[in-house]
Amino acid sequence: MLFHGVYDDAPSRSSVNHESIDPAVLDSVSKAFTRARSVLFITGAGISADSGLPTYRGIGGLYEDAGTEDGLPIEQALSGEMLRERPDVCWKYIHQIERACRGASWNRGHEVLAMLEERYDRALVLTQNVDGLHRRAGSKNVIEIHGDIHKLSCTRCSFRETVKDYAGLSFPPHCPECSAVLRPEVVLFGEMLPRDAVATLQRELERGFDLVVSIGTTSVFPYIAAPVVLARRTGRDTVEINPGTTGVSHVVAYRMQNRAAVVFDAIWRRL
Ligand SMILES: [Zn+2]
């Protein structure tokens, strides 16, 4: 269940005319953004695609159908069990993901989300991405439900560190204090979501949001789709920004089938 940030199968970008935003929909959505006092933004790989980050199928085609080069399904290679039994194998694939993120910068989509935080009484970003780009772009109120690949912690002691990238690490990396294997603070396949993040999310959802916006995610996970469904059911404004069709496309009040960076730039100019 992990790394949806990078692995989430973001929709193909080739089949849609990204630049043609429906003016009537843009108008309605901009009004929803204007009247809201509290907003929840739910993001997936699609928002980072504009930063050149690969998605699941795109990672060098490495994991397409045939599995990893070790002949394992990626769900097995990147599992909590593999990290315990064969940290060298698990880390090899973690490293590949990090390399794919390396050097990437936030884009206009991340930037506008960060600026919008100032505008509302409450704005929260719930992201599945492990690339850390929302925080780097300036968003402060962020739930990284699948973690951040740049945060490492010891599997035995309390050692933790945040790294800019993995350059200079040896694999698997070991704890400088107790020499046990380090791990990234991300949710590996077969692992639970971080308890703190889940509790925070629950608390926020109980307070409710005037506007819920789903961005660049297929919404296959219940905890990603449910806030949208709940908002719609309780008469709140709901928007989806995604070139493709997803698990919540039939739920939202407004669909914008465009790239996130383009849409947020357009909305920002209207506020
Ligand atoms: Zn340690």
For residues 207 and 18, the answer to whether their CB atoms sit within 8 Å is: no
Main-chain phi, psi angles of 140, to 5 degrees: -105, -35
Residues in a beta bridge with 151: 162
Examine the pLDDT at 3 and tell me if it is beyond 60: no
Q: How confident is the model at residue 5 (pLDDT cuts 50, 70, 90)?
A: very low
Question: In 10 A of CB 65, how many CB atoms?
Answer: 7
Expressed in angstroms and rounded, the spacing between residue 156 Cα and the centre of ligand 1 is 5
In this prediction, residue 2 carries a pLDDT of 44
Q: How many residues does the chain have?
A: 271
In this prediction, residue 19 carries a pLDDT of 63
Q: For the chain, what is the mean pLDDT? A: 88
Residue 146 annotated among the catalytic residues of the structure: yes
| Residue 142 CB-density burial (10 A; 0-12 exposed, 13-18 middle, 19+ buried) | buried
Residues in a beta bridge with 143: 126
Examine the pLDDT at 17 and tell me if it is beyond 90: no
Instruction: Indicate the range of 4-8, 117-121, 184-188 predicted with least confidence.
Output: 4-8
Examine the pLDDT at 66 and tell me if it is beyond 60: no
Expressed in angstroms and rounded, the spacing between residue 163 Cα and the centre of ligand 1 is 16
Residues in a beta bridge with 59: none
CA atoms of 108 and 215, how far apart (whole Å): 13
In this prediction, residue 6 carries a pLDDT of 42
Examine the pLDDT at 145 and tell me if it is beyond 50: yes
Examine the pLDDT at 246 and tell me if it is beyond 80: yes
For residues 189 and 78, the answer to whether their CB atoms sit within 8 Å is: yes
Expressed in angstroms and rounded, the spacing between residue 72 Cα and the centre of ligand 1 is 29
In this prediction, residue 20 carries a pLDDT of 84
Q: What pTM was computed for the model? A: 0.89
In this prediction, residue 220 carries a pLDDT of 84
Per-residue pLDDT averaged across 177-193, rounded?
94
DSSP 4: H
Residue 208, sorted as left (phi over 0), alpha (psi -120 to 50) or beta, turns out to be: left
For residues 5 and 129, the answer to whether their CB atoms sit within 8 Å is: yes
Examine the pLDDT at 11 and tell me if it is beyond 80: no
In this prediction, residue 133 carries a pLDDT of 95
Examine the pLDDT at 12 and tell me if it is beyond 60: no
For residues 11 and 242, the answer to whether their CB atoms sit within 8 Å is: yes
Selecting among 4, 110, 146, 150, the annotated active-site residue is: 146
Closest CA to 238 of 77, 52, 42: 42
In this prediction, residue 226 carries a pLDDT of 96
